[in-house]
Copies of this chain bind each other. A is one copy, B any other.
Amino acid sequence: MMQLNQNKKVNLLIVGLGLIGGSYAKALTEKGYHVTAITRRQETIDYALQHGMIAEGAAFPDPELIGRADMVIFALYPHVLTQWIAQNQQHFRPGTVLTDVTGVKCAVVYDVQAMLRPDVEFIASHPMAGKEVYGIENSDAAIFKGANYIVTPTERNTPQAIALCQELGRELGFARISCLSPEEHDDMIGFVSQLTHCIAVTLMTCSDCEHLVDYTGDSFRDLTRIAAINDEMWSELFLLNKQPLLHNMDTFMKEFARLRHFLETEDREGMRDMMRLSTRRRKLFNKPKD
């Protein structure tokens, strides 16, 4: 089985050069790998070549580029990813390892693994990093520094492919690499990522905020930063993770109603208990720079 950091001749193909695909290309090219790319628009390939982000690229599913890849990284929307593999998997070389960057796992992993050729392996992963802007122009390898990277193997995955995918996370610069089952991942992501986006969006839409900008402090800014959201991508991710997200929304609403009840009944100790617990727990999340 190939290894990454001892073999910079490894051929890495990135499919989809948006913000994340572009940031992968920058990080891996900087590390010395031979990085190629396939994406929809020729202008994007031209941009990536001009900026030294990739060695070669094509604006169509070039069988030759696909066949030369040792590892393929898909940075596509979930439904596009599944289609792409269905239409182009005949071009993979036997032994190719595939991974992705998708924000939900159960809805992707099992479908892809079920339809995939048996001589090719798909090991899913999720880089927990991003920005509120899109496109290759905004790509930035620095977003991975200090961030978390999650590999989500199933029983179909080999230890070798899992190790390779973890190595990819390390080579990209992630601070913490962990493994979760697709189910654990989706429940966790429904809480820390999707629920927080639901809250941020709601905060911006529940009040006609136009004049609030004159009076607001950093709290409101912080809680709504992610309310500038890619509606096409996030609505797809929410629907693909419907049950875990609904469950997490309900958990949040129930606890929020508990705080509201303490306030309504002027139960100051009830409120203070919640605040003391939140203060204690939040300290675990401080980054060194906080």
Interface residues of A (CB under 8 A from B): 128-130, 147-148, 150, 176, 178, 180, 185, 188-189, 191-193, 195-207, 209-210, 212-229, 231-232, 234-235, 238-239, 242, 245-246, 248-257, 259-260, 263-264, 266, 268, 271-272, 274-279, 281-285, 287, 290
Cβ contact within 8 Å between A215 and B148: yes
Cβ contact within 8 Å between B201 and A199: no
CA of A232 to CA of B276, assembled, Å? 10
CA of A249 to CA of B203, assembled, Å? 10
Give the Cβ gap from A271 to chain B, nearest Cβ, in Å: 5
- List, in ascending order, chain B residues with CB within 8 A of A207's CB: 191, 248, 251
Copies in the complex: 2
Q: Select from chain B the residue with minimum beta-carbon distance to A210.
A: B284
Determine which of B191, B197, B200, B201 lies in contact with A212 in the assembled complex, contact meaning CB atoms within 8 Å.
B191
19 contacts between A and B (CB under 8 A): A147-B217, A148-B214, A150-B215, A192-B216, A192-B217, A192-B219, A197-B219, A202-B256, A202-B278, A220-B285, A222-B222, A228-B278, A228-B282, A229-B278, A231-B271, A238-B271, A249-B256, A253-B253, A253-B256
Known: A148-B215, A212-B192, A216-B148. A224 touches B282 (CB 8 A): yes
Give the Cβ gap from A288 to chain B, nearest Cβ, in Å: 13
- List, in ascending order, chain B residues with CB within 8 A of A198's CB: 256, 259-260
Known: A148-B214, A238-B263, A263-B242. A220 touches B193 (CB 8 A): yes
CA of A280 to CA of B240, assembled, Å? 25
User: Which of A188, A216, A242, A260: most chain B Cβ within 10 A?
Assistant: A216
CA of A58 to CA of B60, assembled, Å? 76
Cβ contact within 8 Å between A260 and B246: yes
